[in-house]
Amino acid sequence: MKISYKDSEMKKMERRDALKMMGLGSAALLAGGTTSVSAKTKLSTFASRKEADIVIVGGGTAGITVTARVRRSAPNARITLIAPNDVHLYQSGQVYVAAGLYREFDNKRQTKELVPDNVTLLQDKVTHFSPETNKVHTGKHGEIPYDYLIVALGCEYDYSWVEGLDVSDIGKKGIASVYLNDVNEGLASGAIISRMWLKTIRRHTQRSEQKVLFADPDGPVKGEGASLDMLFLANDMLKGNGMYKKGKDLRSKAALTLSRPGKDLFPSPEIDRALKKELQKAENITIAYEHRLVRIDKERRIAFYSHEGQTVEKTYDFLHVTPAVKPPDVLKGSGLTVEKGEYEGWLEVDEKTLQNPRYPNVFGIGDIVGLSSGKSGGAIREQAIVIQDNIAAILEGKAVPMTYNGYSVHPIKTRYGRVMLAEYTPQGLEPTFPLDPAKPRWIWWEMDLHLMRTAYFGLMMRGML
């Protein structure tokens, strides 16, 4: 359900009232509150009491969220969650670690503590899918049969899109990436590296002029907007905010450049226009559109770009790289993937029902699916509700009642103390509350920083959000 908004209607809102609204709605806002799907936080159909073997693969946000929801919609089902990770990461918190506002261990929980009762947790990896025989093969537990399979393996980061860059280079020679983590090991080293990287930029800029580059890849990325977070926060930190409150404004001595392979900053046209307007306010920030980073010389600190058929060289002092994403290798040869086109190799699902078209007892959720929707926690929550209700209906022999509308949400930090809550679908903006989602606000910053992590672990991971 789209909600109209008018800023004039909010002018009389007192700060206390706004905080009250934030408290009431924070849980919903984590993943989209009152859109056409997520308005139904309970089952929209009756739970099925039928018995079935349901296997869920993946212990990240998608895997645990959908496990909790399916446990509710199919209470008599035998549910098995296959996940290798002992530790579960709240990956959205990595930017706040980089910003100096979270500690790394604040974003971690033991996976077994998040798994619902009456769910069998196998700490193992799937090595092969056999959808034609309704089985998955694991490293330690052999073959696991299923009646229904939900694939929630996420995606893998790929830094090889830049020639001359290896993942081991991150944290050295002025190179950072806030994304870098190991979800299987429960490590988020990119957040710590990026925090030191920001501090080092500030320190070096006090002595001399600095050139800072931010580079995005072609194709989809995880957490659309995280590179913009780093760009905005780095510039605000140079202004003297954040980790350096009341510090000297050093922005005139630092040139920040974000390279984008296309002409846009963000998938939503409305949010894209708003972000471009925000960036016009910063005289020291340049957006290099249609510039694709091809190669770096780490020793000489030179970046080589492809632009309109030409090679463009830029020297730099510091570089932040957004990784490309790819589907997990275990999907290869599974018969479950998109065979041709833009999403080749990703898990193929119907964009509305989230069922695989060749094997309708197989569902997909989260970053692994080959859809145009953003790879975000908000998208996952919407998708989990769809799968929850649709599996219950199928068990009862009924038509699937729920469809996914492509919703996603990204809280873009435009400075310390301001967030643009970008809620959208392919059809347009999809705001939860009657506030313009293209306008940065303190209320979204406070909610994202102080409430969302608690809501994530306490509600979303429990299937209650």
DSSP per-residue letters across 157-178: EE-TTSBT--GGGTTSTTEE-T
In this predicted model, what pLDDT tens digit does every residue of 62-117 receive, in sequence order? 999 999 999 999 999 999 999 999 999 999 999 999 999 999 999 999 999 999 99
Quote the pLDDT of residue 244: 67
Q: Which residue did the predictor score with more confidence, 93 or 3? A: 93
By DSSP bridging, strand 408-415 and strand 175-176 are unpaired
Instruction: Check residue 43 and give its pLDDT.
Output: 59
Q: List Cβ neighbours of 265 (8 Å cut-off, separation of 6 or more).
A: 228, 272, 275, 276, 279, 287
**Distance between CA atoms of residues 303 and 293, nearest Å:** 7
Question: Which pLDDT band holds residue 44 (cuts at 50, 70, 90)?
Answer: low
- What share of residues in the chain are helix, strand, coil (percent, to 5)? 30, 25, 45
Model confidence at 182: pLDDT above 50: yes
CB proximity list for 33: less than 8 A, separation 6 or greater: 25, 39, 432, 433
Which pLDDT score, from 0 to 100, does residue 9 have? 36
Q: What is the mean pLDDT of residues 313-317?
A: 98
Give the Cβ contact number of residue 203 at 10 Å: 11
pLDDT of residue 243: 79
3-state secondary structure at position 462: helix
- Calpha distance 417→446 (Å, rounded): 7
Res. 10: pLDDT tops 70: no
- CA-CA distance, 70 to 60, in Å (whole number)? 15
Strand order in the sheet with 310-315: 292-297, 302-307, 310-315
Per CATH, the number for 28-156+326-395 is 3.50.50.60
* CB count in 10 Å sphere of residue 265: 24
pLDDT above 70 coverage of the chain, percent: 90
User: How many C-beta neighbours within 10 Å does residue 433 have?
Assistant: 20
Is the pLDDT score of 181 beyond 80? Answer: yes
Domains 28-156+326-395 and 158-324 share a fold: yes
pLDDT at position 30 is 45
- Give the rounded distance of the alpha carbon of 207 from its chain centre: 36
Is pLDDT of 45 > 80? no
Tokens of 139: 């490293």
Q: CB burial class (10 A; 0-12, 13-18, 19+) of residue 199?
A: middle
Q: Where exactly are the structural domains of the chain?
A: 28-156+326-395, 158-324
Calculate ∠ Cα 236-241-243, nearest 5°. 110
Amino acid letter at 236? D
CATH architecture of 158-324: 3-Layer(bba) Sandwich (3.50)
Tokens matching residue 128: 């092969």
Q: Is residue 24 over pLDDT 90?
A: no
Q: In whole angstroms, give the CA distance from residue 343 to residue 340.
A: 7
Res 352: pLDDT: 96
pLDDT of residue 33: 45
pLDDT value at residue 184:
85
CA separation (Å) from 55 to 73, 170, 181, 352? 14, 36, 26, 21
Q: Which of 19-33, 177-191, 230-244 has the lowest mean pLDDT?
A: 19-33
Q: What is the largest CA-CA distance in the chain?
A: 70
Q: Are 149 and 57 in contact (CB under 8 A)?
A: yes
- Residue 15, pLDDT score: 44
**Which residue has tokens 């435009």?**
414
Euclidean distance between CA atoms 73 and 54, whole angstroms? 12
Mean pLDDT of the chain: 91
List strand residue ranges (DSSP E) for 179-309, in order: 210-215, 254-260, 285-289, 292-297, 302-307
Q: Which pLDDT value is given to residue 27? A: 46
User: Confidence class of residue 269 from pLDDT cuts 50, 70 and 90?
Assistant: very high
d(CA 212, CA 220): 23
Greater confidence, 370 or 42? 370
pLDDT at residue 8 greater than cutoff 50:
no
Task: Give me the mean pLDDT over the 308-326 stretch.
Answer: 97
Whole-model pTM?
0.91
